[in-house]
Structure 1
Amino acid sequence: MSPSKTTSKPLNGGQVWLNAATEILSEEGFQALNIPRLCQKLQLTKGSFYHHFKNFATFKQDLLAFWEKDFTQDIFDEIKEVEDPEAQYEMLFNLAFEKDLAVDLAIRSWAQADNQVKDIVSKVDEMRIGILTEMYQKTSDLSQEAARNYAVIDYTGYIGFYSLFPDAPDSWARDLASIQTRSLLADSKMTRGKL
């Protein structure tokens, strides 16, 4: 799946604004994200913002497209050439933990208050669950339904952990994720997804 199309200038022209937005989301939450706060953070004028973006709605659309691409599509593009499913999963795992997951959490919070954001979060969740489903199918020779069940358990564990423990050290998160993944993979191979 390709990332959402944007309606403003190419991302590279306004990339500094998008990067600043992800920092604000990570550090202050979506409620703090507005044009005056962006200008203050970058020490630039509103005119500079409007040089790159027609309005805040256009900026938000570009920001969501950037998040989808940077936090999901680019990772999938990088791992798709890896043929061994377990090596592919390990690479996915490592690339995911390189991202600032506070941005993901802030966007998820934003989705509770904004239907446009909610639609993009749902799309990204489906993309992520889809790639995990494929990995479980390849690794354990599961049916589509069984592989999706494992993928959902795996993904909700990842999202749930950071929802409960947003300030957890990465080392703990990696350890728990590794335990969960090994357990799920072992179970999927042993039971083939059948109770």
Structure 2
Amino acid sequence: MGRKAKHTKVDWIVAAFKTLGEEGIEGVRVERLAKDLGTTKGSFYWHFADRPALHKQMLDFWEQEGTKRIIIELDDTDLSPNEQLRALAQTAVQTEIMKLDTIAIEGALRAWAGQEGWVADRIRTAENARVEYVEQLLLSIGHNPIQATLLANQLYLMLLGFYSISRHDPKKIHRDAFIAFADQIAEDRSL
């Protein structure tokens, strides 16, 4: 019977995301991650069959933690749809989660999607779920279906713009503008 791995699967995934944000997917190499974690490659193979398996698990983790978990947690609150939308907007502009630079990671994920079609498919699926959730909140707030669809897409595009500009020009006003728009559509049904 083998020894228990010192580092968990999540440790490896978090290390991979840190490297992804710093160097892109090309930098996410077993040797590099093992060095960063202060362990051997054997620990990696305890959790993953190979590098492509890690890549798949990274996207699974990103989708679960960055989309599904947030939606479930918001749905499990007593917040009104207006308050849920505001809370979602605040969560979306967090620049650090689990000691990871979310701005760099979101940009690197989309760069990776530009290189590999299966990654683009996975990201598109998660993004569609995010937009559909916002659309449902807007419908619950009282926006008509056409408005809800347009505003949900606008808000998501603004978020992607926030991620993009924050990499080279991280001004508080960019965050504030995104939050203000979310607040506005949470209240004003005439948009």
Question: TM class, shorter-chain normalised?
Answer: 0.7 to 0.9
- Give the structure 1 partner of residue 49 of structure 2: 54
Distance 1:128 1:170 in 2: 25
CA contact (8 A) 1:17 1:38 kept: yes
Normalised by the size of structure 2, how large is the TM-score?
Answer: 0.84
Q: Structure 1 counterpart of 2:88, which letter?
A: L
2:80 is the alignment partner of 1:84: yes
SS of 2:190's partner is helix
CA offsets per residue over residues 62-118 of structure 1, 9 Å max, x none?
Answer: 111001111111111110134411110111122223342321111111000011211
Identity of aligned residues (%): 27
Opposite residue 149 of structure 1, the aligned amino acid is L
Partners of 1:20 and 1:41 within 8 A in 2: yes
SS in 2 for 1:141: coil
Give 1:126-165 correspondences, 5 Å limit. 126-143=128-145, 145-165=146-166
Q: What are the within-5 Å matches in structure 2 for residues 107-186 of structure 1?
A: 107-143=109-145, 145-169=146-170, 171-185=172-186
Q: 1:142: Cα distance to partner?
A: 1.2
Structure 2 runs not aligned, ≥5 long: 1-6
Gaps of 5+ in 1: 1-11
Structure with more relative contact order (C-alpha pairs < 8 Å, separation 6 or more): 2
TM-score where L is the length of structure 1? 0.83
Shift of 1:168: 4.1
